[in-house]
Copies of this chain bind each other. A is one copy, B any other.
Amino acid sequence: MAETFAFSSRETTSGLARLGTLTTPHGSIDTPQFMPVGTQATVKSLTPGDLHAAGVQIILANTYHLSLRPGHERIARLGGLHRFMGWDGPILTDSGGFQVFSLAHLARVDDDGITFASHLDGTPQRLTPERAIEIQEALGSDIAMAFDQLVDATLPPAEVGAAMERTHRWAERCLAAHARPEQALFGIVQGGVDADLRRRSVAAVADLPFDGIAIGGLSVGESKSEMAATLGVVAEALGADRRPRYLMGVGTPPDLLAAVTQGIDLFDCVLPTRVARNGQLWTSLGRLNLRNARFLDDPTPPDPECSCEACLNHSRAYLAHLFRAEELLAYRLASVHNVTYTLRLMRQIREALADGSFASLRDAVTAHYRSPEAVR
């Protein structure tokens, strides 16, 4: 257990949902909580000041990308990732396992690690459990992740199971390699959408002295019901485990609401900023696509219930114009809004869990997001 890391939580009346506080060397986080993704040491188009204004408490950064560019040794020489990017709040780094799976070329897995070609320049690279920990220690994140092997969940169970078993062996090596006492280390449960594999993975990973338990391998193409069923299996297998539970790569507002009731404390996802750059806003009325021509003459704010810079100062018409004109400000304002919206939703979730109104919040938000574009 990391020296300055702590997590306390209490049950609520809403399913398995919990309310908690996660303490790190760079501050405390209210849970359930969402982490915007700063892949290359920047949440795309936003400054640290924007993140604070949006209510962001913790961000995620990518080990794979940062080790390739600008290099983790360089970041360490420059004082670590917090100082490098000017963000003084908590940072969680992933281990690179997902990026090797999704971005790298020619990945070859052996029992010791993964060899692959950089997506930047094709140079040969290698990640092992020890190397993934070394990189994350150099970056100096508050929470590091164990190095895992991702596989396509639709592969035969034997292949999914083999990757899972390897992930378990690598988990122990990550724990053995990890040396920074102030940095927390989370293990990752794998096993695809196979209930038996997931139970075995929980048993193996939860048995290790990790500071938290992440659920990997979801939100990669499986159906909503498969995700829900898998989260149910994991929750049951974890039982009364008091460590923070982190669902990796999730998600949309309905997905966040659903997973909270299954006991998830922590989320990350690129969607709020990625869909923003495509012109899609998440609003209190549902999705709003700024590329739709009808918004060119709409003088109303993007989201009447939002107080972000975009909604306070600008109209849908202006944002729709910026997107058509391919102006950089379009991507920035839409990103400010979607991050603000997502963080506000998490705050509303916590408030609703506290006062017992979670079900009505979940039903209202989910209804707004049922249609592809609900704003009239």
Residue of chain B at shortest CB distance from A327: B42
B69 contacts A321, C-beta separation under 8 Å: yes
Contact of A86 among B42, B86, B313, B332 (CB under 8 A): B313
Majority secondary structure, A binding face:
helix
A47 contacts B333, C-beta separation under 8 Å: yes
Interface residues on A, range: 35 or more
Residue of chain B at shortest CB distance from A71: B296
* Protomer copies: 2
Contact of A329 among B46, B296, B329 (CB under 8 A): B46
Of A72-80, A172-180, A231-239, the segment with at least 4 beta carbons within 8 Å of chain B is A72-80
A125 to chain B minimum Cβ distance, whole angstroms, is: 17
A182 to chain B minimum Cβ distance, whole angstroms, is: 22
- The CA of A86 and the CA of B315, in the complex, are separated in Å by 9
Contact of A79 among B299, B314, B321, B332 (CB under 8 A): B299
When A45-B328, A309-B47, A328-B331 are in contact, do A297 and B74 touch as well, CB less than 8 Å? Answer: yes
A45 contacts B318, C-beta separation under 8 Å: no
* Further contacts, 8 of them, CB under 8 A, given A46-B329, A74-B297, A85-B318: A40-B321, A40-B322, A42-B325, A44-B328, A45-B332, A47-B333, A84-B317, A328-B328
Can you name 16 A-B pairs with beta carbons within 8 Å? A42-B327, A42-B329, A45-B327, A45-B328, A45-B332, A47-B309, A47-B313, A49-B313, A69-B321, A70-B317, A74-B317, A77-B297, A84-B315, A86-B313, A328-B328, A328-B331
Give me the 6 closest cross-chain CB pairs, A-B, nearest first: A45-B328, A86-B313, A70-B321, A40-B325, A42-B329, A42-B327
